[in-house]
Structure formats: C-alpha cells, structure tokens
Structure 1
Amino acid sequence: HVLHATAHAIKAFKRGENIANDIGLEICLRTAATRQISKALRIVGLKEGPMEICAVLIDSDKLDTLSRIFKRDDTVLEPDTRYLKKLYNLTKNEIELVGVTGALIERTTLLILES
C-alpha cells in the first residue's frame, strides 16, 4: 500500500490537492490514511531504537547515498497482517471483504474523496 500511497501523493502535488507542503510528509499522510500529520507520524514515522524502515525515493540519484547508509532488505515490504490490523484498527469486515492490503489501499483512496 506504500506504493499506492506514493502514487497518490505525487498525483496530489501535480493537481495542487496535496495536504502537506512536503512530498515526504504527503507520502506519510497517505500511507497512514489520515489527514492529521501528528497521527501519520505516530503510525509511520521514525521511532527511537532499532526498527525496520521503508524508504521511498522520488529522486533516484539519492539511491547510492542511501545504499551506503542502509542495508537493503525488501522483506520489510511484505505486509505483517497482524501488526497492520492492530496499527490501523482494521475491522473484521474490511479484512474479509478485501484483505488487509486492500483495506489499506481503500483507506488511502478515501483521502482523495475527502478533498
């Protein structure tokens, strides 16, 4: 759903419908499926201590720099359904209808309709 949220963030900036003034923050808002910056940062922001992160690069020339700092591990992109259900308070009905990833994509899409 991060890819979906990123695509929506880029489109929002192109249309002038962005919520945040920064593309990175816009991606956070849409990934977290909320219009509230503080809530988005609680859900998808950095926290103290060791953690797995998902880096979204819009500017591909930064990849070399990022690769020197972090070890790439695409397994962090695989959804941990139990964690995501709890984090996003997904209902049993949502999950039964479209699955965890589908529910997150739907919530991201709903931000567009709220604009």
Structure 2
Amino acid sequence: MTKQKIVIKVSMNNQKLRSKAMTIAAGVSGVEGTAIQGENKDQIEVTGEQIDSVRLTSLLRKKFCHAELVSVGPVGKTEEKKVEAIVAWNYGAPNYPVYEIRNSYQYEDPSCSIM
C-alpha cells in the first residue's frame, strides 16, 4: 500500500482547539502523523495508510461543526514533512490547603482558664 496525505480544513481559532483536532485525527486507524498547516493554521494534514477520509472528516465535524475535505492524494517523496508539536503542560503543583501550625503554649491568654 502507498501512503496517502489528507488535508482537511477545520475551523480552529486557538491552540486548544488545534490540540483537540490533532488528538481526534491521531485516534483514527491508519494515521501515522498529523500536522497543522495553512496560512491561518486552520488545516490539518494527516498522513498514513488506509485512512478513511470521510470518517475522519465526519469525526472532526462532530466536534467542530465545520470540516471540509480539501485534498486526498499520495505522499510525494520530495515533500518535506512539517511537524508542529502540541504539548499539554500541567501548570504548577496542585493546590492543597495550607494550615498554620501554632504551639498552644505561645498563644495562651494567662487571664483565661478552662478549669
């Protein structure tokens, strides 16, 4: 089998949506690589073998409401691969409550007695 390249135009206007689109595309069977391309970074390029382009487009339509199949064709050997890595970072440590520990003997009021 020959590798194929599929380009789909998807309405993605921020990095979070681009990451979701690449996750959806990478989950389809036969996909070996995904990349974001286009002047407005609104196209996703998928490469691999035996990819169902109609199924991929409909999966993206379910999430993004607009997905248009631009092209399907064989991968050219002289073509350079464009790779854009999207990494999800966990920002900071989890927020746990902070308790202040006080020594009871330092804060006792000498005028108050419980006994």
Please state which structure has a larger fraction of its residues in strand: 2
Please state which structure has a larger fraction of its residues in helix: 1
Global fold match (TM > 0.5): no
| Length-normalised TM-score, structure 1 | 0.28
| Length-normalised TM-score, structure 2 | 0.28
Rg comparison, structure with higher value:
2
